[in-house]
């Protein structure tokens, strides 16, 4: 079955999905001297609706710079960095810190820009490096066997590969095909995420601000994060809130001017609601060790701490390293061992990341009395004790990233 034009050609590796994970995999394949063929169900140049990643860690910039020299710097150059962060408790400032300007050469510790722009820069780098894209190709089924993988797209065309890097996002048909369910809970609360365009008539200081119990938002938590060209406002709804009241045009005009200058109520670029999943796939590869799950095909985290896209990039780079090693292995046992090593390592990283994002989510929601008491006690002494304020400022992002060396990269 190959559109009636003869047998399907066999690729050493196919990438399914052209989001951050798939684009990273494609760049890493080219950097390793391997052909990169990417299938994506989207029509070329369609902008995906909704607000997604803004915050890229320095480790991700370095990883991208390695697979595509210049790309990390280009993304950093388009993004924005803030040097001041603040936290408030019921309208009272409890913590502020301003870092001195960076004078060192090299990539910055982070950058902030809309995910669509990061993806555009990655896609342009892919094109320069000879990545072959097939847009409008929706993988409908996948069968793996001891010798490789056979994909069939929605037009009935067949694609064959020795290995498939699955970067097909949260609903991953490839994850379903290999029978690897997502395991883990989903938050009960809804979060409203709004991207606002900058208002040049009312410029704001470039600061990341977190509000516990914002008085203008009826005591709900509000996180305000700048990115190049705008502001991300994240409103933490209560369990019984009706999200519609907050995302309708009237709703937005009601609450946004209470947490931002008034004119920003008219500058909404995107608005989305989320109940965040905290899930990891049972296994990151199939029984034949031919399909490698990466990015949201293998894990879903709440975005606090920015671990989604930031861990999808190393997932993809490690998947390519494993495929490269498997393709040049001495025999099937060695090849399989390379893929299993990838699957174990990245599952361990995903479980760690989920734990960090869960800690952040638990702190934000404060459903347990002990968490509520600890937060309240810290807020009471925060003005006098810098440590308590620093903890309240940092806790909504989960534990700091830990990199325990290449074998256990945990972001
Ligand atoms: C509100 C919000 C804020 C976030 N903030 C951050 C942040 O600041 N930092 C961070 O690191 N992460 C953040 N994330 C997470 C980040 O957006 C995701 O982790 C990232 O997009 C995952 O990339 P991916 O390539 O795995 O999947 P996706 O981006 O979903 O890409 C999947 C691709 O696969 C294609 N596809 C799907 N099915 C098929 C099929 N059957 N056949 C062919 N193609 C297919 C899709 O068209 C798509 O192009 C945030 C997420 C949300 C929702």
How remote is the CA of residue 55 from the centroid of ligand 1, in Å? 14
| Residue carrying the six token digits 């209560």 | 238
Contact 134 CB / ligand 1 (< 6 Å): no
Burial 140-176 (b: 16+ CB within 10 A, else e): eebebeeebbbbbbeeebebbbbbbbbbbbbebbbbe
* Ligand 1 pocket, residue 21 CB under 6 Å: yes
Please tell me if the CB atom of residue 144 comes closer than 6 angstroms to any atom of ligand 1: no
CATH number of 10-54+114-185+278-361: 3.50.50.60
Percent of the chain with pLDDT over 90: 84
Confidence tier at 1 by pLDDT (50, 70, 90):
very low
More confident residue, 219 or 405: 219
Domain-wise residue ranges, the chain: 10-54+114-185+278-361, 191-274, 370-397
C-beta 168 within 6 A of ligand 1:
yes
Residue having the nearest C-alpha atom to atom 19 of ligand 1: 308
Pick the atom of ligand 1 nearest to 174's CA. 41
Average pLDDT of span 295-302: 96
Q: Please work out whether the CB of residue 296 comes within 6 Å of at least one atom of ligand 1.
A: yes
Residue 408's pLDDT is: 34
Q: Of 104 and 13, which is predicted with more confidence?
A: 13
Q: Same fold for the domain at 10-54+114-185+278-361 and the one at 191-274?
A: no
The response to whether residue 139 sits with its C-beta less than 6 Å from ligand 1 reads yes
- In 10 A of CB 185, how many CB atoms? 12
User: Confidence class of residue 399 from pLDDT cuts 50, 70 and 90?
Assistant: confident
Distinct helix (H) and strand (E) counts, the chain: 11, 19
d(C-alpha 169, C-alpha 171), whole Å? 6
- Note the pLDDT of residue 402: 54
Architecture of the structural domain at 191-274? 2-Layer Sandwich (3.30)
- The pLDDT-based confidence of 44 (bands split at 50, 70, 90) is confident
Atom of ligand 1 nearest to the CA of 54: 8
CA atoms within 13 A on the CB side of 273: 15
- Cβ neighbourhood burial of 348 (10 Å; 0-12, 13-18, 19+): middle
Rounded distance between C-alpha atoms, residue 40 and residue 32, angstroms: 22
Gap from CA of 20 to ligand 1 centroid (Å): 7
| Ligand 1 within 6 A of CB of 389 | no
* pLDDT band of 329, cuts 50, 70, 90: very high
- Spell out the alpha helix ranges (H) of 50-202: 58-67, 71-78, 115-128, 173-177
Is 79 close to ligand 1, i.e. is its CB under 6 Å away? no
Question: From the CA atom positions of the chain, what is the Rg in Å?
Answer: 22
Is 313 near ligand 1, meaning CB less than 6 Å away? no
Whether 54 lines ligand 1, by a CB cut-off of 6 Å, is yes
Please give the pLDDT value at position 32: 98
Q: Cα torsion at 110, 113, 114, 117 (round to 10°)?
A: -110
Task: Please indicate whether residue 194, judged by its CB atom, sits closer than 6 Å to ligand 1.
Answer: no
Q: Which atom of ligand 1 is nearest to the CA of 168?
A: 34
Ligand 1 atom with least separation from CA of 39: 43
Nearest CA to ligand 1 atom 15: 308
pLDDT band of 23, cuts 50, 70, 90: very high
By most ligand atoms within 8 Å of CB, the mutation choice from 14, 16, 18, 19 for ligand 1 is 19
pLDDT of residue 229: 95
pLDDT at 67: 98
Q: Give the Å distance between the CA of 17 and the centre of ligand 1.
A: 9
In angstroms, what CA-CA distances link 175 with 198, 296, 299, 315? Answer: 39, 10, 11, 15
* List of residues 6+ apart from 374 with CB closer than 8 A: none
Which of 115, 101, 103, 105 minimizes the C-alpha distance to 206? 101
Q: What is the pLDDT of residues 206-236, one digit of tens each?
A: 999 999 999 999 999 999 999 999 999 999 9
Q: Which of 2-6, 14-18, 340-344 has the lowest mean pLDDT?
A: 2-6
The whole-chain average pLDDT of the chain stands at 92
> How many A from CA of 308 to the centre of ligand 1?
8
pLDDT of res. 331: 96
- Pure H helices in 79-227: 115-128, 173-177
- Structure tokens belonging to residue 20: 């951050």
Rounded Cα gap, residues 312 and 294, in angstroms = 6
- How far apart, in whole angstroms, are the C-alpha atoms of residue 254 and residue 66? 46
What is the Å distance from ligand 1's center to 107 Cα?
24
Could you tell me the distance, in angstroms and rounded to a whole number, from the CA of residue 115 to the centre of ligand 1? 9
Q: What is the spatial distance between Cα 69 and Cα 210, in angstroms, rounded to a whole number?
A: 35
């Amino acid at each position: 079955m190959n559109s009636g034009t003869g047998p399907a050609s066999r690729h050493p590796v196919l990438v399914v999905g052209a989001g951050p994970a798939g684009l990273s995999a494609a760049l890493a394949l080219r950097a390793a001297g391997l052909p990169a063929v990417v299938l994506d169900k989207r029509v070329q140049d369609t902008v995906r609706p909704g607000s997604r990643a803004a915050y890229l860690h320095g480790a991700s910039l370095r990883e991208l710079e390695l697979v595509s020299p210049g790309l990390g710097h280009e993304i950093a150059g388009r993004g924005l960095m803030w040097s001041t962060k603040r936290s408030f408790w019921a309208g009272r400032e409890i913590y502020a810190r301003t870092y001195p300007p960076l004078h060192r050469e090299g990539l910055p510790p982070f950058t902030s820009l809309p995910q669509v722009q990061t993806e555009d820069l990655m896609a342009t780098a892919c094109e320069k490096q000879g990545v072959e894209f097939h847009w409008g190709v929706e993988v409908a089924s996948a069968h793996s066997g001891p010798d490789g993988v056979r994909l069939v797209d929605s037009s009935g065309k067949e694609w064959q590969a020795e290995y498939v890097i699955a970067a097909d996002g949260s609903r991953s048909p490839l994850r379903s095909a290999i029978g690897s369910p997502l395991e883990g809970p989903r938050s009960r609360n809804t979060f409203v995420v709004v991207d606002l365009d900058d208002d040049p008539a009312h410029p704001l200081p470039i600061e990341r601000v977190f509000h516990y119990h914002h008085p203008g938002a009826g005591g709900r938590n509000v996180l305000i994060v700048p990115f190049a060209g705008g502001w991300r406002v994240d409103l933490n709804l209560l369990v019984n809130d009706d999200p519609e009241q907050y995302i309708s045009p009237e709703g937005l005009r009601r609450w946004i001017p209470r947490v931002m200058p008034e004119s920003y109520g008219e500058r909404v670029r995107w608005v989305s609601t989320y109940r965040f999943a905290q899930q990891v796939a049972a296994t990151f590869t199939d029984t034949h060790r031919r399909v490698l799950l990466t990015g949201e095909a293998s894990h879903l985290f709440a975005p606090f701490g920015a671990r989604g896209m930031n861990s999808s990039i190393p997932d993809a780079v490690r998947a390519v390293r494993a495929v490269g090693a498997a393709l040049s292995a001495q025999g099937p046992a060695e090849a399989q061992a390379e893929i299993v090593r990838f699957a174990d390592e990245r599952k361990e990283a995903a479980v760690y990341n989920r734990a960090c994002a869960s800690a952040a989510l638990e702190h934000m929601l404060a459903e347990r009395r002990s968490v509520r008491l600890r937060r309240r006690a810290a807020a009471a002494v925060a003005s006098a004790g810098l440590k308590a304020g620093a903890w309240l400022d940092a806790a909504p992002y989960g534990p700091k990233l830990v990199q325990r060396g290449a074998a256990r990269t945990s972001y």
